[in-house]
Chain A
Amino acid sequence: MHIFEFIRPRDSAAAIAAAAQSKTAQQGADVRFIGGGTTLIDLMKLNVETPARVLDINRLPLDKIEVMPDGGLKIGATVRNSDLANHAKVQKDYSVLSQAILQGASAQIRNMATVGGNLLQRTRCVYFRDIAMPCNKREPGSGCPAITGHNRTLAILGASDHCIATNPSDMCVALAALEATIHIQGTNGSRAVVFGDFHLLPGNTPIRETVLEAGDLITHVTLPPPVTGSKQIYLKLRDRASYEFALSSAAVVITIASGGITRARIALGGVGTKPWRSPEAEAVLIGKPANDASFRQAAEAALRDAKPQSENKFKIELAKRCLTHALRTAAAS
């Protein structure tokens, strides 16, 4: 691990001012906020992340979960994953989020990992994590050995010729389906970014993973008021039963009336270069009867643009079955 200066900013303004001295935005930057440390310390040990300054934001007052006047939820950036997953209102009204978090990592890691950190969780691509290998996400222009190498777990949606790394988060898949909003404070004040706009596709610049600019601090995430009568499921398929990243996952928030499906929010995990909302699947479901034929049709739509890598053609069918089964389970719940 490279030497760094450890600083505990007294307030958000001081944290932002210190981070604004960074040459680039948060990920891979020379000034980094630290929350739980579960991604950052790991990558610092591998010299993938080599910040000169580490700003500890754990003691800033960003650790509250509050019900907002409109009935929605405001979740502070340093709220621990376990506290969010076990929160009574989250379990009752946003159960897809609770399910997603509890299927990720381990109890110890969930006690450490923060909401803000989870939004910035970095890929598990083995080439990204090994500084002896080229990686366009780490070193722009160095190449992507994953395209012809070990790519069984990598992305089939949203990949480019420069990067095929999967976003590993479970929490983010649920937040995509719940249409969360991310609140950011920066040197030019505050702004709110809808979830779907926060993460970027790799394109020609896989080093840029989010819309964050140097100095930007995620302060909280908000959820819209709960949808009455919605059925919510997070289904995660993986190589072992627990403590493993998704090969394919699906977050489903669906409302069914007597005449059929009236509302659907669908997001996929483990298959995309970012948490993958599927408006295509949602559009297919609206007005359809809640049956296997509709669900399979939605899954076909969600994966229509999927492009397999050399080792993971199976993921296309796996993702379709994952979504179909998640919808079936939600409908039956």
Chain B
Amino acid sequence: MSADDSKSLPPSPTRRKFLLTSGSGVAASLLAAYVPAAAKSATEESDSAPNNAGPSIEGAVPIMLRINGKEHSLRVDPRTTLLDCIRETVVLTGTKKGCDHGQCGACTVHVNGRRVLSCLNLALMHDGEEITTVEGLGTPDAMHPMQAAFLACDAYQCGYCTSGQIMSAVALLKEPCGPDDASVKELMSGNICRCGAYANIVDAIQQVRKRA
């Protein structure tokens, strides 16, 4: 990005905020398929923010997801994956899209208490079910012990895979898993870390398991 480009961006130039507030045709078309149910009453010609003024989606289906303890009544295109629904419709962006094909684990969330890949699920398959994302584990002031351990053990570099790693690690605590590092590595093999923070991730998980 050149210095000139940065001047043209809004004051808080995050990509997400830019897309959500610009009202540009690009943003509107990107978000058109993912409007919350509340947007349905909005008129199509309104040019207010696209996340509450997109056109109603043809063929959209109503569902209710309980995400991190809060009920969300939504209308989604049947093609919407649970991942896209969480990120784009509910705008909980802690869950990451990596490969989008079930090969990296970045999108790991809990459904009814079990870890799954949200990219290989349709949102519609989870109508009425309990979803937990990384936002539901803890807060910066009151972190989940696993979040605290990842921080203490420096169990990440770029951080992109981290929410998926942590969701997997938290689920692992309740799964049959031998006490040794090898068992942890085996059960964490579905979460890829391109920075290679694996050794510290195993340390963080073992730290939490030993304290439990």
Interface residues of A (CB under 8 A from B): 1, 3-6, 34, 36-38, 41-42, 45-46, 54, 56, 58, 82, 86, 105-109, 111-112, 241-243
Q: How far is the CA of A4 from the CA of B59 in the complex (A)?
A: 9
Instruction: Decide: A56 and B125 in contact? CB cutoff 8 A.
Output: yes
Residue numbers in B under 8 Å from A109 (CB-CB): 102, 117, 120, 190
Known: A38-B120, A42-B101. A108 touches B168 (CB 8 A): yes
Q: How far is the CA of A190 from the CA of B188 in the complex (A)?
A: 40
Interface residues of B (CB under 8 A from A): 59, 61, 77-79, 81, 100-102, 105, 108, 114-117, 119-122, 124-125, 168, 171-172, 175-176, 185-191
Q: How far is the CA of A36 from the CA of B125 in the complex (A)?
A: 9
Q: How far is the CA of A41 from the CA of B77 in the complex (A)?
A: 14
Instruction: Decide: A243 and B189 in contact? CB cutoff 8 A.
Output: yes
Known: A3-B78, A4-B79, A242-B186. A107 touches B172 (CB 8 A): yes
Instruction: Decide: B122 and A107 in contact? CB cutoff 8 A.
Output: no
User: Which of B115, B125, B185 is within 8 Å of A111, CB to CB?
Assistant: B115
Nearest opposing residue in chain A for B191, CB measure = A106
Chain B, interface SS category: mixed
User: Which of A56, A108, A242 is within 8 Å of B124, CB to CB?
Assistant: A56
User: Which of B59, B61, B121 is within 8 Å of A37, CB to CB?
Assistant: B121
Instruction: Decide: A37 and B120 in contact? CB cutoff 8 A.
Output: yes
Instruction: Decide: B121 and A107 in contact? CB cutoff 8 A.
Output: no
Instruction: Decide: A107 and B120 in contact? CB cutoff 8 A.
Output: no
Residue numbers in B under 8 Å from A86 (CB-CB): 176
Instruction: Decide: B114 and A111 in contact? CB cutoff 8 A.
Output: yes
Instruction: Decide: A5 and B175 in contact? CB cutoff 8 A.
Output: no
Residue numbers in A under 8 Å from B119 (CB-CB): 41
Instruction: Decide: A106 and B189 in contact? CB cutoff 8 A.
Output: yes
Residue numbers in B under 8 Å from A107 (CB-CB): 115, 168, 171-172, 175, 187-188, 190
Q: How far is the CA of A86 from the CA of B114 in the complex (A)?
A: 14
Instruction: Decide: B102 and A42 in contact? CB cutoff 8 A.
Output: yes
If A107-B172, A107-B187, A109-B117 are given as contacts, then 6 extra A-B residue pairs at C-beta distance below 8 Å, sorted by A number, are: A6-B61, A6-B78, A82-B114, A108-B117, A112-B121, A243-B190
Instruction: Decide: A108 and B101 in contact? CB cutoff 8 A.
Output: no
* Best-surrounded residue of A6, A54, A106 (most CB of chain B within 10 A): A106
Known: A56-B124, A242-B189. A38 touches B78 (CB 8 A): no
Residue numbers in A under 8 Å from B116 (CB-CB): 108, 111-112
Residue numbers in B under 8 Å from A1 (CB-CB): 79
Residue numbers in A under 8 Å from B171 (CB-CB): 107
Q: How far is the CA of A5 from the CA of B77 in the complex (A)?
A: 10
CB A326 to nearest CB in B, in angstroms, measures 19
Nearest opposing residue in chain B for A43, CB measure = B101
User: Which of B120, B190, B191 is within 8 Å of A41, CB to CB?
Assistant: B120
Nearest opposing residue in chain B for A107, CB measure = B187
Q: How far is the CA of A86 from the CA of B105 in the complex (A)?
A: 22
Q: Could you list some 7 contacts between A and B, CB below 8 A? A: A6-B61, A36-B120, A41-B122, A54-B122, A58-B125, A106-B191, A107-B172
Instruction: Decide: B59 and A3 in contact? CB cutoff 8 A.
Output: yes
